[in-house]
Structure 1
């Protein structure tokens, strides 16, 4: 699959999968990819619950259903505001909270 197609499919799939999954403590969601895998990182402001982490895993499941030839890595990480998220960006931002 060409990078352009992976990018478009991944971003659209993530936008759809994130409907009703964004919680107020999510600061940002970034994604990246290469020829074999997709990486999705979720950055939280403050502690996140097991349910929130499970919800993000469900988002990843939606993604892998759309792009089954690649593996997926998901990371949920706490990065409190006002620390900048810029150094943590992968290839694209999927979501950034207004701060």
Structure 2
């Protein structure tokens, strides 16, 4: 699969997988990939609730269903609204909520 086709497949799959799973506590979802591996980072602005943890698990399961022969890593972290979201070089925002300057 060429790089453009892979990018389209990963990003569209992420959009579908996230439907109904983005809570008000979620600041952003970032995604990186290379052949055979997908890394997702979900950033919350408050303590991560049990419900949010269950959503993270569902997202990981759904991604794995679409990419069953790939390594799928979904991590989450808490980052206060006042903190800047540091995007790694190979990451792309899949979701980013609008935040007013704090």
Alignment of structure 1 residues 1-99 onto 2, 5 Å: 1-85=1-85, 87-89=86-88, 90-99=90-99
Deviation for aligned residue 1:35: 2.0
Number of residue pairs aligned between Structure 1 and Structure 2: 98
Deviation for aligned residue 1:36: 2.4
Give the number of the structure whose alpha-carbon radius of gyration is greater: 2
Task: Return structure 1 stretches of 4+ with deviation > 3 angstroms.
Answer: none
Contact 1:10 1:63 in 2 (8 A): no
Give the Cα–Cα distance (whole angstroms) in 1 for the partners of residues 34 and 55 of structure 2: 24
- Structure 1: give runs of 5+ residues left out of the alignment: none
SS in 1 for 2:55: helix
SS in 2 for 1:95: strand
Q: CA RMSD in A?
A: 1.4
